[in-house]
Each structure stands twice: as structure tokens, then as C-alpha cells.
Structure 1
Amino acid sequence: MNGNDYINLKFKNDNISAINKPKGTHILAEFYGIEESFGLTENYLKEKMSLFVKQANLFELGNIFHSFGENSYTFVICLAESHFTLHSWPEDNYLTLDIFVCDYKKDNKEKAFDLFEKVAKFYNPKHIEKKIIYR
């Protein structure tokens, strides 16, 4: 560690109250029992998820879909506000969801909740475990 590192750490400690303010909303969820939604095509999933992003008034910058075969996939949408990801395990009828939106210049948490509700309704899981983190 050199002298400049110490100065940077000291600056952060001096401004800790500003740093510790929540900057966004992070929704982490697990969907159990989603067998009805498997068998959907990549294009259909991309269209639906992109539509849900738009309907939630979030801005999609781009997306990546990777298929592992047999309805197992990772899907990432990069948002101007941050990101939205899905990961599926069809052998377990299980899917994870991750939505993070930052609150740069405005509070976007309701948009994150809206997107979550749209995706949950689409997959129609038998059980959801959800964690919300304001960070």
C-alpha cells in the first residue's frame, strides 16, 4: 500500500454517510415448479422478457441468451438501470431471477417490482422464495 491508497481509504471513511445511502434495489428470487414454461423457444423468451422490461419502463441496452440444451439456459438483459438475469434448471423445474436497478437521479424500485411481477406471472411457479436488498 502506498501513500495514495491511504488517502483514498481516508476519503471514503470521511464520506461514509454519503457512501452508505442505498443506491438501488436488488431482487433475488427462486422459482420452484415451473414445468409449464419449459419448451419455449429462445426467440419467444427474448421477445417476452424484452417486452416486460419495456412495460416496466426500464431501458434495455442489449441481451445475451445461452442455451445449455434441453431447456436449460442463462439469459441476461443489460439495462441502462443495471441488469436482469434468468438461469434455468429444467431437471429440477427451477429458475433463478436476479434484477438490480440503480436509483441514479430517480427511484426505480417500483419498476423493478413491476418487472418481477410480470416475470413471476409468466413463469407461474408453484412456490417463490424472494429476497430484496436495498444497497
Structure 2
Amino acid sequence: MKQVGTHLVVDAWEASEDLLNDPEAIRRAMLEAISAGDATLIDLCVHQFSPHGVTATATLAESHIAIHTWPEHGYFAADLFFCGRGKPERAMEVLQTALKAKKVRTRDITRGFEEAADSTNRVREPFYQTLV
């Protein structure tokens, strides 16, 4: 496979309920993560849900970072996809620290394309086999 990017799929628990429900705290955490990941911000959208929860998406020159929070459970899910340069692992460490998550599970997926496809021009691989 010719690697074109790294995709981190993250679950985080035991995070600060107050921070997870604060759109400005999420905005700051995202900006810090983008900087730490050596990424280039194109656009950042942060939305507060009622009665609780925040979703934020950052469009990057390198691809994207998205985070979705469930403050009532101390949980957030994040998705960091970096093509080419950048440090998605470092960006994720910053999110974990900023939101005070005590437990994190990260799945690292190598993204790219096959250099030689089979006769169907399709490559199918069960998702669970791509998990690290």
C-alpha cells in the first residue's frame, strides 16, 4: 500500500464534564491540538448542543480533526486524519491533556491506495483487520 495519510479514531473516557460541555474550552483544545500537530487550519466550526454536548470540526490543509462530546458520560470521540506531513499522535495527546481524559483508546489506520489492484479493481478489507 502507498500510504497517503494516518487516521486516528479515538475514544476517551473519564474526561472533565465541565470542559466537555464548554464550547470555548473545546475550541481552545482544538486550536492547541492543531498547533501541536503541525497542521494548517482552514476552518473551525464548534457547535453546542442542548441540553449538553459539543461537536467541533476543523478542516485542515492536511485533512481534518473532529470531536464529539458526551459530558454526562465524561466521554468524547475524536477523529484525526492527517495526509502527508503533520503529527496526529501529538495532536491527540494535546486533546487528551486539555480535556483531562484519564483513559484513551486510539486506533491507528494507515490510509492509502494499492499500487496494483486485483482484477475487480477493488480491495476489501474488514475494518477490524485495520485496527492496531
- Once the two structures are TM-superposed, the CA of residue 24 in structure 1 deviates from its matched residue by 0.4
Q: State the partner residue of 1:130.
A: 106
- Once the two structures are TM-superposed, the CA of residue 78 in structure 1 deviates from its matched residue by 0.5
Once the two structures are overlaid, the 10-residue window that deviates more, 65-74 or 20-29, is 65-74
Cα distance in structure 1, aligned partners of 2:73 and 2:23: 19
User: Which one has the bigger helix percentage?
Assistant: 1
Contact 2:20 2:99 in 1 (8 A): no
Alpha-carbon RMSD: 1.8
From the superposition, tell whether residues 55 and 63 of structure 1 become closer, same or farther in structure 2 (CA, over 3 Å). Answer: same
Q: Is 1:24 equivalent to 2:22 in the alignment? A: no
Q: State the partner residue of 2:93.
A: 117
Q: What is the TM-score with the length of structure 2 in the denominator? A: 0.74
Residue ranges of structure 1 left out of the alignment (5+ in a row): 1-19
Largest Rg, 1 or 2: 1
Contact 1:70 1:90 in 2 (8 A): no
From the superposition, tell whether residues 114 and 44 of structure 1 become closer, same or farther in structure 2 (CA, over 3 Å). Answer: same
From the superposition, tell whether residues 92 and 43 of structure 1 become closer, same or farther in structure 2 (CA, over 3 Å). Answer: closer
Q: State the partner residue of 1:57.
A: 38
Aligned amino acid, residue 57 of structure 2: V
Q: What is the TM-score with the length of structure 1 in the denominator? A: 0.73
Cα distance in structure 1, aligned partners of 2:71 and 2:26: 15
1:76 corresponds, among 41, 49, 57, to 57
Cα distance in structure 1, aligned partners of 2:91 and 2:51: 26
Aligned amino acid, residue 84 of structure 1: I
Q: Percent of aligned positions with the same letter in both sequences?
A: 24
Cα distance in structure 1, aligned partners of 2:20 and 2:63: 28
Q: State the partner residue of 1:9.
A: none
